Structure 1
């Protein structure tokens, strides 16, 4: 067992949604200073946005990194594009899970936020044929067609958190929605990339509700159409064409049109 901390560090030079998530067996503030001293080209020190004490920091770090894998800023580094509020919820949840695994109580989970310590109570396939159909001719699969794993449910909860102010559905509603997919893993993966692209929008948290909805609509359409087709067909209201291009650059997957199964 390796007791220690899971930390989330922020740096003003990187922007508010870029977070370094790692583990340390010493005090998080010591680790933050070490990282700053060893990071050439970083003009400002790292700040501890959040940290949580856990029974085994190595196990917890692996679980958290796996859960946030799609949101990595760099595949070889521990930097993630994710709002700190969502990172905190996932870190607490995983630390509680690991503590329970090793027989530790979660009644007094030690957390550090803004330098203050608290007790916390408590995939490459050949593209399918693309055809144009009337939406009225498509019938969705019944809910419960697929069963989501606990890991998939946790990933869906992150997506729900990111889009909570736009779509306003509960995480349970999201999970139930994905249960109607024949291959929920593919759909979750696409939605994770939509979420990642959304978080890459500069100053995203300062956008108006109308701008956030339009940015979401642009990216949702991009998940099914090429960038050029989106620019050609999407009716822009709050963004210029140049701004829409920047938003589209954040989405990295090839377009995957809606898949349908024809019944005999």
Structure 2
């Protein structure tokens, strides 16, 4: 066990949402310079966004990496595609947890100056049937869907942590109350399936540079495109989309950044009682 630091580095060459999260037993700014000198393919130096002292830096780093594993760009590298505030929060929380387990004090924060769950009720009059591979497919207006009942009593600790990380990333894209956000996953028969979908929505959203600084109308259009992409192919979405804030090429890049195959919504028709 070695005390040290967990650091969060940025590099202007990689964009705002790519972070390097690692450990060092020495001053983090010295480590940042060493990484730059030893990296032949990096055109600009690394900036230390923040670093945190911790009683066991290896343990804290491993915990932070595990919590952010969905957003890791390469398993052999310590780079993650997450917003700075999310990466630093997870790093700090991991240090706090390790220090608490080791009965150590609160980690010191060292700052440097850096250069929806799928609803399931639908009115049958609001759908148009189609056939794909012999199975019925319906095109729904998401605004006509209603919430399903709670299906799981509670999320596991890991599921809750993953859902909260997604919530932090998408706060400006999908502003909802955190309790309602978590409850949404409890309405799904398979929270794991929905968590993977939302994690990939978050990854695709972070491919947009400076999206959090854009207008709400721009973010709303991005959100609509990504939601439709979870149900349809990029080509299908583009064929019906009315674009106001995205060019067709930019919209396609956003849709292509969503890596999962389309998964149609599972809907139950509610018939009026006679």
- TM-score normalised according to structure 2 size: 0.84
Q: Does residue 185 of the first structure (1) align with residue 183 of the second (2)?
A: no
Equivalent position SS for 2:218 = helix
Structure 2 CA distance for partners of 1:56 and 1:260, relative to 1, 3 Å: farther
Equivalent position SS for 1:50 = strand
Structure 2 CA distance for partners of 1:48 and 1:170, relative to 1, 3 Å: same
Residues 1-264 of structure 1 aligned to structure 2 (within 5 Å): 1-106=1-106, 109-114=107-112, 129=135, 131-132=137-138, 140-143=147-150, 145-260=152-267
Equivalent position SS for 2:189 = coil
Deviation at 1:19, TM superposition (A): 0.6
Where structure 1 has 5 or more consecutive residues not aligned to the other structure, the ranges are 117-126
Q: Take 2:69 and 2:184, find their aligned partners in 1: how far apart are those partners?
A: 22
Name which one, 1 or 2, has greater alpha-carbon Rg: 2
Aligned residues: 251
Answer yes or no: is the 8 Å Cα contact 2:172–2:212 preserved in 1.
no
Deviation at 1:253, TM superposition (A): 0.8
Structure 2 CA distance for partners of 1:56 and 1:201, relative to 1, 3 Å: same
- TM-score normalised according to structure 1 size: 0.87
Structure 1 residues 179-188 or 200-209, which shifts more?
200-209
Which residue matches 1:123? none
Structure 2 CA distance for partners of 1:168 and 1:134, relative to 1, 3 Å: closer
**Residues 236-259 of structure 1, C-alpha deviations (whole Å, 9 max, x = no match):** 121111111111121111111112
Deviation at 1:194, TM superposition (A): 0.3
Structure 2 CA distance for partners of 1:228 and 1:146, relative to 1, 3 Å: farther
Deviation at 1:186, TM superposition (A): 1.1
Which residue matches 1:124? none
Greater RCO, CA 8 A, separation 6+: 2
Deviation at 1:133, TM superposition (A): 6.6
Structure 2 CA distance for partners of 1:42 and 1:261, relative to 1, 3 Å: same
Where structure 2 has 5 or more consecutive residues not aligned to the other structure, the ranges are 115-132
Structure 1 residues 149-158 or 202-211, which shifts more?
202-211
CA RMSD in angstroms comes to 2.4
